[in-house]
């Protein structure tokens, strides 16, 4: 990995996006053979310093996730607001992990409600439980240091690095 060494702070606009608008996320890791693997994400919270994000993962593939993070630390997470498709990718380094706390469950519940509300127009007759189950209960919290942020909203600008700016 070749990250640029500088102090990254998540811009306020993106903090508001993460805290109030993003409703679905997916994380990518890789193993020592550079084989990529994906993990659903149930919730997230921006750290008070605006330099870290805590991601909450369901139980599936937990051992594989932790092994990859502890081995090489590389993590990329895409967060989207559905159905507007406003999307950003955060890349950075694993800092630490911990078990789930009560506040994490409340966090996931808020995001689950946001997600179900966004899906409802597409699935007007789907039972509430079916839509809610798409966001699984969390099993693991991972603190992550943000090193780069990319625009991923579909369109010609997709892939542009926003933070640090491209000229750095």
Binding site for another protein (CB under 8 A): 1-2, 26-30, 34-38, 40, 58-61, 72, 74-78, 80, 83, 85, 87, 89, 91, 123, 126, 130-131, 133-134, 136-137, 150, 152, 154-156, 158-159
The answer to whether 122 touches 113, Cβ cutoff 8 Å, is: no
The alpha helices in 3-149, defined as continuous H runs, are: 12-16, 62-72, 102-119, 128-132
CB of 45 to another protein, least distance (A): 19
Instruction: CB nearer to another protein: give 12 or 17.
Output: 17
CB of 3 to another protein, least distance (A): 8
Establish whether the linkage from the previous residue to 95 is cis, with ω within 30° of 0: no
Q: Tell me phi and psi for residue 11, to 5 degrees.
A: -60, 150
Instruction: CB nearer to another protein: give 10 or 135.
Output: 135
Instruction: CB nearer to another protein: give 21 or 48.
Output: 21
CB of 23 to another protein, least distance (A): 13
CB of 48 to another protein, least distance (A): 25
CB of 71 to another protein, least distance (A): 11
The answer to whether 51 touches 92, Cβ cutoff 8 Å, is: no
Instruction: CB nearer to another protein: give 26 or 162.
Output: 26
Rounded distance between C-alpha atoms, residue 98 and residue 140, angstroms:
6
Q: Exposure of 47 by Cβ count < 10 A (0-12 exposed, 13-18 middle, 19+ buried)? A: middle
């Amino acid at each position: 990995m070749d990250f640029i060494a500088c102090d990254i702070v998540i811009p306020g606009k993106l903090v508001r996006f993460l805290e109030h608008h993003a409703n679905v996320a997916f994380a990518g890791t890789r193993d020592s053979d550079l084989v990529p693997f994906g993990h659903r994400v149930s919730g997230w919270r921006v750290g008070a310093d605006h330099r870290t994000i805590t991601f909450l993962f369901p139980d599936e593939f937990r051992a594989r996730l932790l092994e990859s993070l502890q081995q090489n630390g590389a993590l990329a997470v895409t967060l989207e607001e559905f159905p507007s498709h406003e999307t950003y990718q955060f890349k950075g380094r694993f800092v630490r992990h911990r078990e789930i706390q009560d506040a994490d469950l409340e966090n996931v519940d808020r995001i689950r409600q946001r997600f179900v509300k966004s899906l409802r127009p597409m699935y007007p007759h789907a039972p509430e439980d079916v839509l809610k189950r798409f966001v699984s209960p969390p099993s693991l919290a991972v603190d992550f240091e943000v090193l780069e942020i990319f625009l991923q909203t579909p369109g010609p600008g997709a892939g542009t690095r926003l933070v640090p700016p491209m000229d750095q």
